[in-house]
Amino acid sequence: MNTSIKTMVLGTVAGVAASSFAGAQGAQVPGSAAAKNVVLVHGAFADGSGWRGVYDELTRRGYRVTIVQNPLTSLAEDVAATTRALDRQDGPAVLVGHSWGGTVITEAGVHPKVVSLVYVSALAPDAGETTAQQYQGFPAAAQFVVDTHPDGYGFVNPEKFKIGFAADTSDADAAFLRDSQVPINMSVFATTLRNAAWRSKPSWAVIATNDNAFGEGMLHSMARRIGARITEVSASHALFMTQPKAVADVIEEAARNDVGASKTR
């Protein structure tokens, strides 16, 4: 690597790392919180920048927030990225996943630092199941259309993007999300999980009532099966962006949960 470029890259990385802690410096985590760390995991077709509003809410309240950048190339690699983030935490953490990120936190959430899980309009398979199996028995999400390229990676259809993914955003924001999509290797949906962290960790679910990415009843069915405490929010699939306060409120509730709480299912 060219020396000047290398120096610039290293400086940028250092600046990003420093800024990730800056938001928490002026606030103090509530004394009743069992976890002061929050790790956010994005879903398919997006990246971690969509969590900015939730990040701002939580850091303002004093939490230390880490955002995972999933490669979306395989379940194993997304779990590895999440595990690296969890390894860096200095104590108990709340692990949060949106959409496909729910599968990731289900597998990665067995990490010893994870004390609770938050599913934000997210998938929640069991060990021995695939993500694709979660769709069985529910009507198709007709307004959420994924185009799969010959290399096996999928994008949300551009014409259907706003209504399917981000119906409650502005046209400009929806267009930016559409044009900055991160494709996902569609084979991930056929990968069998080895672990189901929700069987031993207390779980919360934030469900968007106008989520067009899932068939009717699917999100509630998954949340009930894992025994999650459910909060409904009037929003689209992009609720992690459009309803940051509501999502942060549920994460804070999970952070205040008794650190020793567990469940056996």
pLDDT tens digits, one per residue of 170-204: 999 999 999 999 999 999 999 999 999 999 999 99
For the purposes of burial, counting CB atoms within 10 Å of the CB of 153, is it exposed (0-12), middle (13-18) or buried (19 or more)?
middle
Question: What pLDDT is stored for residue 29 in this prediction?
Answer: 61
Select the CATH number that applies to the domain covering 34-255 from these four: 3.40.50.300, 3.40.50.1820, 1.10.10.10, 3.10.310.30: 3.40.50.1820
Q: Phi and psi for 88 in degrees, rounded to 5? A: -85, -10
In the chain, domain spans: 34-255
Whole-angstrom distance, CA of residue 201 vs CA of residue 34: 14
Question: Per residue in 99-115, pLDDT tens?
Answer: 999 999 999 999 999 99
**Which residues of the chain have a pLDDT value below 50?**
1-26, 259-260, 264
Nearest C-alpha neighbor of 68 from the set 20, 27, 25: 20
What are 176's two structure tokens? 């930016």
Question: What pLDDT is stored for residue 38 in this prediction?
Answer: 98
Question: What pLDDT is stored for residue 30 in this prediction?
Answer: 60
Whole-angstrom distance, CA of residue 147 vs CA of residue 150: 10
Question: What pLDDT is stored for residue 34 in this prediction?
Answer: 83
